[in-house]
Structure formats: structure tokens, C-alpha cells
Structure 1
Amino acid sequence: MNRAILVSLSLSAREKAEAEDSLDELAGLARAVGAEVVHRVRQSRFRPSPRTFIGQGKVRELALMAVELRADAVVFDHNLTPVQQRSLEDSLPLKVIDRTQLILDIFARRAASREGKLQVELARLMYQLPRLTGKGKALSQPGAGIRTRGPGEKKLEEDRRRIQDRITRIKRQIHSLGLRRSGQRMSRKRSPMPVVSLVGYTSAGKSTLFNALSREHAFTSPMLFATLDPVLRRVAFSDGLYFLLSDTVGFIRKLPVELITSFRATLEEIRESDCICHVIDLAAARSGEQAEAVEKVLAEIGAGNIPLVRVFNKIDLLPGRDELLTLQERKTVAGRVYVSARTGEGVADLKKLLRGILFQDRRLFHLRLPLERSALLPELAERGVLLKAAENTGHLELTLMARPDAVRDLLPDYAEGEPPC
């Protein structure tokens, strides 16, 4: 695909009002695979055509436009049925691509890990399976006998069986990798280290914020879906407390169901978090709708009840940012914070807010134990964050951050502790 025409169909007044923004997003997706957008086509109808999605007149208009603009592809801002896609390909001198196919192509280019590549392949095969009949132009007609099949039909059945077998094998491999990931999550749950997941609409600045918090250098790029595989880093506070920070795949409107299904194991990383930071691009024209799309998916994957911090990013790009910052303290208490991940402004406020959320049920224990009880040290370190350990006059002096119940059965005399500062 080199030169693409974009097509949008509005079925309601609301869709018509949002069509331009949705086409802007589709144009970004097309550019992500190296295509040049040469024209945009919009149509309003009460319902899509079962055969060609858009009206026959608009199909003829597209055919003439394709020749005039030297376009080689038409991209629909919708998901087409196999029948619609096949009919459009019969009527147009163009490659016909729908939104799901385009997103799957981008994911295939971005996947880096073995699990990520398998998840994308699974999604693509699930998308292709019901569309095998799209090759019908090459199929021979069945013979006269009731049980007779032509070579085209046999080839179709073989292709379908081969894809189904491959889907089964990939699901087994993903399940195996998921069990390993689940074991890693269980290990983290047994450890005292809380986990924070960064989520957000694609290109909201998650990876830039990830770098600002962790002072590491994860891959950052204006490309859509630059991060597909979860990345974990340890983030420390000045007093020695710390948490694990996870950067995850970006969300998007109309995220294909095949991808949600295939990436469920990866999305479970979010579901198992102690806190979610939802990064919102304040500079985006439809930031509110993008935020709704993200939180809708969070609810769908069972992460709706996890403590959520809304991180409004890119304040450096806003003309009225000073007025925003005067509200910073009150907004932070309300579970939202304004930052510029690029300049670092507001990141310290975010860390302060996260510290209060992650360690609100922890207590600070100052322990003085006889040396003969030093065998408890490894277990205490597993049950909390060991901030200090020193030997002094025949005793171990420890400073431990932990939940009271984690300490109670080992050291009943120290069951209460004190709130962290």
C-alpha cells in the first residue's frame, strides 16, 4: 500500500460529528505502515449496505477517483464483513483494507518478543479464517454429483484446516508462556514490591513517562503502538521504598476483538497491578473520548476496581498550563495529576501520590533483635521492604516497611508499627 484513499461511513449524527477525528486517527494508522493518504471520502447512511458497505454510487465514485489519484488501496474506518470485502474487491481496481486489518499489520511490525509475535499471528489467523471464502474467484464450481467437490473447494477446506491447526498450536504456546508469566506474577505477589501499570491511548506518552519515572531508557517513538510487550523497571523513592513500573501496549478506539483476545495474557499484567496510571494526552483534540475508550477496555478485562490515577500529560504543549498547575495540589488529592513527561514537570508530584496509594496499608517497623534470631532476616526481607540492617552491641537493628499482618506471626511484640511519613 503506497497511496491510500480513506473511507468513513456515518450511521448517526454523533458518528458524523466524530468522523473527521476518526479519519485523522486512521490516517495516522495508514502512515504507520508507510502509506500516503491522497483523499478522504465520507458518506452518511441509515445502515451499511450488506454487500458493499457504502452505496453503489459511492463505489463507482471511488473507482473513478482511484484512477485519477493513482491510488492503490482503499482503507475503511470500519470492520468489513467477508462478503463486503469480496464485493468491493470485485468492484474496485484497489486493494481493500479495513481498520482491523490495518491495525493487525502495524502490530505485526511492532511485535518484538516471542509471545508478542505469537499473539499477533493468532489475531491475524483469527481474522483471516472467516475470510477464506474471499478467494472464491479462484474456486472451481462443484461437480454434478451431490458428493463431488471441485479442486477449489478441496483447496479451501485444506487451507481452513491448516489455519485451524495453526491456531490450536499457537494457543497452546501462548498458554504455556502465560503459565510462565503467571508464575512470575505470583512470585511478585509474594514479594513486598507493589506493581504500577502505565496504560493509555496510543502515543499518549506512556514510554516517555516510564523513562522519566524509572530513569531508564525504554524505546520511545511517535509511532503508534511503539510498545507491544510489557516492560518492567524498579522505581525507588528517596527513603529506600520502591515499586515495579510496567509499560504496556497502547489502546485505541475500535480495538479489534481479535487483538483483545490474543493479548489477554499481556493485559492480565494490568489486572494484577496494585495501581494503574492512566496516561492521558491533554494536547489531543479528543482526549476525553480517548480516555473513555481506555477505561472501557480496563473494565472489560476486569481491572475496573484497581486504584486508578489519571495522569494528564503534555502540559508543556498547552497555552493555559499555568492555570492548570495552580490546581495541582487539589487535583492530586482527587486522584489526578498534571505532568510533562518530556520536561519532567509534575513527575515528583506523581511519585508522591503513588507513594501514598501503594504504601497506605504498610507500617514502619524499627526492630531490635538478638543476634540469635538473625535467621529471621531472610523471611522478614521477603515480607517487607528492608530499609536498614545493622549490627549494634549484640543486636540486629532493622528498619522494615511491611503490612502488620506480615510481621505479626513472626514478631508479635512488633505487630503495630508506625505509619510511614
Structure 2
Amino acid sequence: MNLYDTIEKKDETAILVGVITQEQDEAKVEEYLDELAFLALTAGATEHARFTQKITKPNPKTFVGAGKLEDIAAYVKTHDIQMVIFDDELSPSQLRNIENALNTKILDRSNLILDIFAKRARTAEARTQVELAQYEYLLPRLTRMWTHLSRQKGGIGMRGPGETEIETDRRIIRDKISLLKDKLKKIDKQKATQRKGREQMIRAALVGYTNVGKSTLMNLLTKSDVFAENKLFATLDTTVRKVVVGNLPFLLSDTVGFIRKLPHHLVDSFKSTLDEVRESDVLIHVVDISHPNFEDHINTVKETLKDLNSLDKATIMIFNKIDAFTYVKKDEDDLTPKVRENYSLEELMKTWMAKENYPCIFISAEKKINIDGLRDLLYETIKDQHLKIYPHRLLY
């Protein structure tokens, strides 16, 4: 069985666990756990309960304190919970200690995301990338994983080796990793050759937080049928399509969505996919304006782009899903300061148009609102880049 193979099961019940620290207050932890619940749902699990603990820093042995772990253990036993998911990456010793205490399947955020990627991978390239990330995650956790898998077979977090027997020791795993890296190097060279063949046109890349509507927008602009779904990481495989706005052609790529606390294994493994971002001439940053934490999402994307040395590229910011935007109107006699929920869409438009250093536009890709305005903005941006990069080449 390959790492990326999946096993169909009915939804599993899960407990979510997070810690409140100096770095993340209670509101932030609840926001992270909401996202973790969506990740779990995407993987096929249903949230049954969540536990949080205020603590100076995570316990190096058990992540949460002994008393909180006892509370979780009692809840697991009483309600026959099938897994407990922690909202941070756990060390191998933490995983082992927590599993011994709770006697059920334990996942951390990284393992959950890896599982979703394994489920979503469709092409040979994406499967190779996911498989490499999984092996790199498994390597320091081999002892725990094998004893764990002997008791729990299949299901979320278990879309990998081990259902057969412990034939994979550290040496074999390292050999696997080496082979997969060599395979990805060959894929990188093939991709680089393909990109060289596309150098006659401006290249634009859709970037953004996961589940903001990039694939829906891709389908709208290219009249293609890229897979789109209201779940996290619906798109793993980079899709490149030719787009024509006015009489000006350019290449548009749809890339994997970003997320907070993205496992570094995935960032490294998806190098060839992210090269579409690195080597693009224009970034089209898509934002879900209806999400209550869209500003945090913007910052996460910018941090990731900074890590990719791509933050200084020509950029358009598209605020999508304006049809789903809601706000609470503030009473005229209310003297308290305005909060995010009290800003109308029109006020946000003015705020963001003035705040950002690059063009912004507000649309709904699903409802096809303001798409003509988007096409006009794309035309001007692509034309400017074309004249800068290919000053002696006719536009059409």
C-alpha cells in the first residue's frame, strides 16, 4: 500500500485541544480551533467537544497539564471518542505520552493536514510530494507510529504505511525519502523546461488562503473546469491555463492554498508547485471578504510570500465573496468605538483601497458580480507588466 492511499470509513468523532498562552489569547485559540474543526471535517471527522487550557507554555511531556489530560481521558472513555486532535505539532515523546494516557488515536495539526493532502492528491506529482512530506513527518515518530498502528488501522491520519507490517525501519524510510527527492528533482526539471516554453507570455498566479474561491475564479476567467469545493485544500495540483483579456493573452496558474501553521514538510515538498508563484510576473491575491478573520488570512499569505521571496511582485488584491458579506449596523447614539463587524462593505472598500499599495477590487466569483471590472483591472496590470518585461514585443 502506498502512503497516499486512503481507506473509506464513516465519519470519526474527535476532540479538539488547544492551549491559551502569552502568544495566543482565548479568542485567537477559539479561532484556531474553529479552523481545526473545518480541517477535521474536510478529513472526515466530526467535532464532539473541545478542550482548552490556560498555560504559560505547552507541557514538554504531555502538551497540556496532568489534570487537563485526566479530564480529556475521562471524556474519551465516557463518550467512546475515536481520536483527539491537538492544534499544534506534537513532539514524538508528547505523542507517545498522550497516547498512553488517552488510549485512543492522537493526531496533531500537521498530521491532520498531511492526511487531507493525501486524500486530495490526484496527479503523480502531487502524490509524490505528499508521500515525501509524510515520510519526513513519520521518520522521527516511527516507534510510536508502529505500535499505534498495530492497534488502530485505517481512518484519518492513517492514510499511510503500517497496515501491513513493520517492514519499514529508519534506514528504509531514509532510502525512500532519498528516492522521492530524486524523483521530485526530475519533476522540477521537467516543470522548469515547461515554464521556459511559456516565456513568451506574462505569467500570473492565483494565491490566497485556502478556501477563498481561487479555483472558482480560475474557472470563471479561463472557462475551464478546475475542481472547486467548499472544503479546505480542494486544489493541490497546479493548473495552468491561457487567458485572454481584451486581445491580451497571459498564463494563469491556480496554486495550493496557504494556511496558518502549515507543516514545513509540505512547504519543502511542494517546491515545484510553489515555483509557479516564485516565477510568476503577477500575483493575484484572492481574499474571502466574508470571513471574520480575513485580515489575519492576508497576513498569513503575505508571510508565506515573503518566505518565497515573492512579496515584491506586481500584485492585484481581489476581495471575493461580497455576496456573503454581512455586518452589524451600529446605532447612531452608540459612542463605543467601531469594530470590524460594524464596517459596511462600502466602508471597507474605502479603507482597503486607501490602505494597500496595489490595486484592489471587490467581486463575487460565484455570483459573477463585478467581473467586468476585474477583467479591466487584469488587462491594465498584465499590459503594464508586458511593456516592462517585453518592451520591444507587440502586445497583439
Please tell me the TM-score bracket, short chain as reference. 0.7 to 0.9
CA deviation after TM superposition for structure 1 residue 405, in Å: 3.5
Unaligned runs of 5+ in 1: 139-154, 364-400, 408-419
Q: Tell me, what secondary structure is at the counterpart of 2:96?
A: helix
The partner residue of 2:213 within 182, 205, 216 is 205
The residue aligned with 1:411 is none
- TM (norm. structure 2) is 0.83
Determine which structure has more spread, i.e. the larger CA radius of gyration: 1
**Residue 257 (structure 2) pairs with residue 250 (structure 1):** yes
The residue aligned with 1:163 is 173
The partner residue of 2:25 within 8, 12, 15 is 15
**For the structure 1 residues 284 and 278, does the alpha-carbon distance in structure 2 shift closer, same or farther, using more than 3 Å as the test?**
same
Paired amino acid for 1:277? I
The residue aligned with 2:281 is 274
The residue aligned with 1:343 is 367
- TM (norm. structure 1) is 0.78
The partner residue of 1:314 within 280, 303, 321 is 321
**Residue 221 (structure 2) pairs with residue 216 (structure 1):** no
Residues 132, 156 of structure 1: 8 Å contact kept = no
CA deviation after TM superposition for structure 1 residue 228, in Å: 0.2
CA deviation after TM superposition for structure 1 residue 305, in Å: 1.6
- CA deviations 1:70-99 (Å, max 9, x no partner) are 211100001000000001111112111000
The partner residue of 1:103 within 103, 113, 127 is 113
The partner residue of 2:376 within 308, 332, 352 is 352
* Pairing 1:25-174 to 2, within 5 Å after superposition: 25-134=35-144, 159-174=169-184
CA deviation after TM superposition for structure 1 residue 33, in Å: 1.5
In structure 2, C-alpha distance between the alignment counterparts of 1:157 and 1:110, rounded to whole Å: 26
In structure 2, C-alpha distance between the alignment counterparts of 1:38 and 1:50, rounded to whole Å: 26
**For the structure 1 residues 213 and 361, does the alpha-carbon distance in structure 2 shift closer, same or farther, using more than 3 Å as the test?**
closer
Q: Tell me, what secondary structure is at the counterpart of 2:280?
A: coil
Q: Give me the CA root mean square deviation.
A: 2.6
**For the structure 1 residues 337 and 162, does the alpha-carbon distance in structure 2 shift closer, same or farther, using more than 3 Å as the test?**
same
- CA deviations 1:350-370 (Å, max 9, x no partner) are 22222222212556xxxxxxx
CA deviation after TM superposition for structure 1 residue 16, in Å: 2.5
How many residues are treated as equivalent by the alignment?
353
The residue aligned with 1:149 is none
CA deviation after TM superposition for structure 1 residue 406, in Å: 4.7
In structure 2, C-alpha distance between the alignment counterparts of 1:332 and 1:11, rounded to whole Å: 31
Q: Percent identity over the alignment? A: 38
Greater displacement, 312-321 / 31-40: 312-321
**For the structure 1 residues 332 and 59, does the alpha-carbon distance in structure 2 shift closer, same or farther, using more than 3 Å as the test?**
closer
- CA deviations 1:110-146 (Å, max 9, x no partner) are 01110100000000000000111325869xxxxxxxx
The residue aligned with 1:383 is none
